[in-house]
């Protein structure tokens, strides 16, 4: 169950930390060597860990720009909890993320060693270059099926009701940024257990995610993530 919790965390955070290039994506800087550091806080505002992202490669493929992002997450004790590599594609109209590639690398390797059969499919999450207040964004989803011989497990995550709410300034340890606020609902189902969370995402031009807050269905704050360092 701990590995499942890590997977759901990766799917939630990884989809929002995207990157840009002036001639490709307006909101995300697709440049090799660009680094981001995000600090996670629990509902009481206590440090709960750090996520680091680095753009390791950028290449052109059939008229599209594809960047590979390396992500590591360290818990509040500084222990490396997981890492992953995933792909971001820029089409010129915006960016899209291969949802399936957000699976933590070590987790996939461990399951392969255990002869676990995995089937991952879904729709890419998209973010257009032209955002405006009131705009509705496309839904996204991912489905993971695992066959472990004696047991089968299904995990499904849907990201729905994605909407651009307003523009406002946000201040973090990395500075003050002009942002669009995007809200969305994430519905997940694991082994028959359903969970629903709402999130607020603050997005700045040329950087990407500045801040994110996660809430229970009843509106109680669960956690928040803030940009603490950025370099390109």
Range with the lowest mean pLDDT among 36-50, 82-96, 214-228? 82-96
| Chain centroid, CA 121 distance in Å | 17
What pLDDT band is residue 5 in, cutting at 50, 70 and 90? very low
Is residue 65's pLDDT more than 70? Answer: yes
- Which residues, including other chains, have CB under 8 Å from residue 92's CB and lie 6 or more apart? 24, 64
- Which residues, including other chains, have CB under 8 Å from residue 64's CB and lie 6 or more apart? 89, 90, 91, 92
Q: What pLDDT does 77 receive? A: 87
Helix locations, 82-212, DSSP H: 105-113
As a whole number, the mean pLDDT across the chain is 82
Is residue 100's pLDDT more than 70? Answer: no
| Chain centroid, CA 157 distance in Å | 12
Higher-confidence residue of 82 and 199: namely 199
What pLDDT band is residue 28 in, cutting at 50, 70 and 90? confident
How far is residue 126's CA from residue 139's CA, in Å, rounded to a whole number?
A: 8
Most confident range (mean pLDDT) of 86-100, 101-115, 163-177 is 163-177
CA angle 128, 132, 135 (to 5 degrees): 80
How far is residue 165's CA from residue 24's CA, in Å, rounded to a whole number?
A: 24
- Torsion angle of the four alpha carbons 157, 110, 56, 227, in this order, in degrees rounded to the nearest 10: 50
Indicate whether this model's pTM tops 0.85. no
Is residue 3's pLDDT more than 50? Answer: no
How far is residue 202's CA from residue 198's CA, in Å, rounded to a whole number?
A: 14
What pLDDT band is residue 108 in, cutting at 50, 70 and 90? low
Domain count along the chain = 1
Is residue 113's pLDDT more than 80? Answer: no
What would the pLDDT profile of 7-17 be if each residue is shown by its tens digit? Answer: 445 555 554 55
Segments forming the whole domain that contains residue 19: 2-231
Beta strands of the chain (E only): which ranges? 35-42, 47-61, 64-75, 80-90, 94-97, 117-123, 125-128, 136-137, 140-147, 152-172, 175-190, 193-204, 208-216, 221-231
What pLDDT band is residue 22 in, cutting at 50, 70 and 90? very low
Q: What is the CATH number of the domain that holds 58?
A: 2.40.360.20
Q: Is 33 exposed, middle or buried (0-12, 13-18, 19+ CB in 10 A)?
A: exposed
Q: Considering only CA atoms, which of 65, 58, 69 is closest in space to residue 36?
A: 69
Most confident range (mean pLDDT) of 106-110, 121-125, 143-147, 202-206 is 202-206
CB 65 within 8 A of CB 30: yes
What pLDDT band is residue 102 in, cutting at 50, 70 and 90? low
The upper half-sphere exposure of residue 223, i.e. CA atoms within 13 Å in the direction of its Cβ, equals 15
């Amino acid at each position: 169950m701990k590995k499942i919790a890590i997977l759901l965390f990766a799917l939630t955070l990884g989809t929002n930390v995207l990157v840009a290039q002036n001639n490709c994506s307006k909101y995300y800087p697709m440049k090799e060597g660009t680094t981001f550091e995000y600090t996670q806080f629990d509902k009481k505002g206590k440090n709960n860990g750090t996520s680091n992202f680095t753009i390791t490669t950028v290449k052109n493929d059939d008229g599209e720009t594809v960047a590979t992002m390396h992500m590591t997450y360290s818990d509040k004790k500084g222990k490396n909890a997981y890492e992953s590599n995933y792909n971001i594609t820029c089409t010129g109209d915006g960016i899209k993320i291969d949802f399936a590639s957000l699976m933590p690398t070590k987790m996939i390797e461990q399951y392969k060693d255990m002869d676990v059969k995995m089937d991952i499919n879904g729709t890419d999450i998209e973010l257009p270059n032209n955002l405006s207040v009131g705009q509705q964004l496309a839904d996204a989803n991912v489905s993971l099926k695992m066959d472990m011989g004696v047991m089968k497990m299904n995990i499904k995550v849907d990201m729905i009701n994605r909407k651009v709410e307003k523009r406002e300034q946000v201040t973090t340890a990395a500075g003050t940024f002009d942002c669009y606020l995007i809200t969305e609902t994430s519905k997940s189902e694991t082994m028959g257990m359903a969970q629903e969370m709402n999130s607020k995402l603050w997005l700045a031009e040329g950087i990407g995610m500045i801040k994110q807050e996660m809430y229970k269905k009843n509106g109680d704050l669960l956690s928040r993530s803030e940009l603490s360092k950025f370099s390109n």
